[in-house]
Amino acid sequence: MDLQSPHLIGDCLIHIFTFLTEEDLISASSVCKDWHEVAETPWLWRRMCLQRWSFCNFAVLLSEHVNHSWKRYFLRRCYLETKMTKGRTGGYTCKSLRGHTGRVVGFVYLQENSAQLPHLWNSSATVCSASTDGTVRAWNIHNGELLWCSPVQSPLTGIVSDEQREVVITADSTGLIKTWQGKTGQEVASFSTASPHCTLLQYNVNNNWFLTVGTSQGSVYTLADSALTKKSSVMVCDTFKVNILLVSPDKKWITAGTKDNDDLSPKVIYTESLTFPSEDEDLLCQSVPVIGCQAAVFIPTQPARLAIIHHNEHPHNKALTVFDVSIKKTKYKSEIQVQQVESFPLTVNSRSSDILLEAKDSNCLVLAANQELWVYSLKGALLASFKEHTMPISSICVDRFRVVTASQDLSLRVLTWRNDRDRGLTLESRYHLLGGSHTTSRGFTHVACDYSSIVASVEGKDGKDVLKAYSFTS
């Protein structure tokens, strides 16, 4: 070993520094000039970023007009997470977003402010909300400013946002689907399903834009591009409302089902059969071997792993079953295979419409019903449980960093994920946020989060719902 070679010594130090925590690495950088130079190596901080979050906004760091480093990105995001973990008074601002004259049926962040691609130096997150007053409204949640409001139409029943482009999609009580430019509020296109209730699902396949719509008559429409061109229409729920509509992480599978009939099974459909239907081939569709579907979710880190809460022999007994979905192709035909991976009973006493199910990573399921919250592994092990609300949980938001529960008791509970040396991944309760007074409000109805904020809707006793926006940026 040539001790006179500074490059060799530097490479050795870089390797040694990979075993340090961020605190130790910062301390090491103050030892001497050589250590400082090695500790500032971008590769070390990039490695820490990807180890901690798995995803980062590379576009921000590589911008020619922005001089940010991997170290600054890491420290800034850790700072924001620390503020969100503690939730101390003065560590966040709360804005009341007023303007809707009806009930808020949902709201969405625009994609540029998502948890997947956070712009840590941009504090202009935009949320679009839909209401029974027939309007879509866009808000700057950090300063409480109304950015635009759509013309009044029939009462809105649902809202989703585009995955990649800044487009918002709404459905109203007549079954009219509309797309809007998120930045300007300009209407882009419309399509009528003639259904009083629609469930919306937007996704992209190989840069092709699609919208699948479940109707109250049991059919599923698939529309393409900004013009909402009809690609297909199939019946999946025997005239019962389609209120379960999911797309797998690999975008190869659509799951459609209903919570309104205990004798029906949800179906898995090959996405290409809906987006590019062929007159020569039948619809590739397969029933999942369970009945009485209560809730369902795809596991986000698996290509096509589906978890379903369903009736277990008796309507009052429930089970959670996990399936893998794949396709088997032979010389003459293709078949969908739905293979059971795990199944275990649940002790949940609740109506189907009150059960909430989300997934984190490859081995955690988050379940909420009534006032309780549970975290299960895919094998059925109970990892954590909480009963902190005094009234039923109405909505949950789950991401890689935290879980937020919204309740009719007019509080939000914030819990963060933690890797315990003995128990593995677990959830830790942190703090709560209040939404106002029970004299004027009935409770929270929806909640959503991005990397630095929490937004929730509060049901007003006067019929005018309000959005509460909690921002943790400095």
Report domain extents, the chain: 6-84, 92-471
326-341 burial, b at 16+ Cβ within 10 Å, e below that, comes to eeeeeeeeeebebeee
Strand partners, 345: 319
Rounded distance between C-alpha atoms, residue 215 and residue 213, angstroms: 6
300 CB-near residues (< 8 Å, 6+ apart): 249, 359, 360, 361
pLDDT tens-digit map of 380-403:
999 999 999 999 999 999 988 889
Rounded distance between C-alpha atoms, residue 293 and residue 306, angstroms: 12
HSE toward the beta carbon, residue 443, CA cutoff 13 A: 13
HSE toward the beta carbon, residue 114, CA cutoff 13 A: 18
Greater model confidence, 5 or 215: 215
Alpha helix positions (H), 87-141: none
pLDDT value, residue 351: 59
pLDDT tens-digit map of 123-144:
578 999 999 999 999 999 988 9
Token pair recorded at residue 133 = 């007053």
Identify the weakest region by mean pLDDT among 53-62, 189-198, 419-428, 430-439.
53-62
Token pair recorded at residue 282 = 């039948």
pLDDT tens-digit map of 216-244:
999 999 999 988 999 999 999 988 999 99
CB 316 within 8 A of CB 303: no
CATH C-level class of 92-471: mainly beta
The reply to whether the predicted model has a pTM over 0.75 is yes
CB 158 within 8 A of CB 173: no
SS3 (DSSP) at 42: helix
Which pLDDT band, with edges at 50, 70 and 90, does 188 fall under? very high
Rounded distance between C-alpha atoms, residue 2 and residue 5, angstroms: 6
pLDDT value, residue 1: 44
Helix (H) or strand (E) holding 426: strand 424-434
Q: What angle do CA 100, 213, 360 make, to 5 degrees?
A: 80
Identify the weakest region by mean pLDDT among 382-396, 409-423, 440-454.
409-423
Greater model confidence, 6 or 141: 141
Rounded distance between C-alpha atoms, residue 474 and residue 469, angstroms: 15
The yes/no answer on whether domain 6-84 falls in CATH 1.20.1280.50 is yes
The percentage of residues in the chain with a pLDDT greater than 90, rounded to a whole number, is: 55
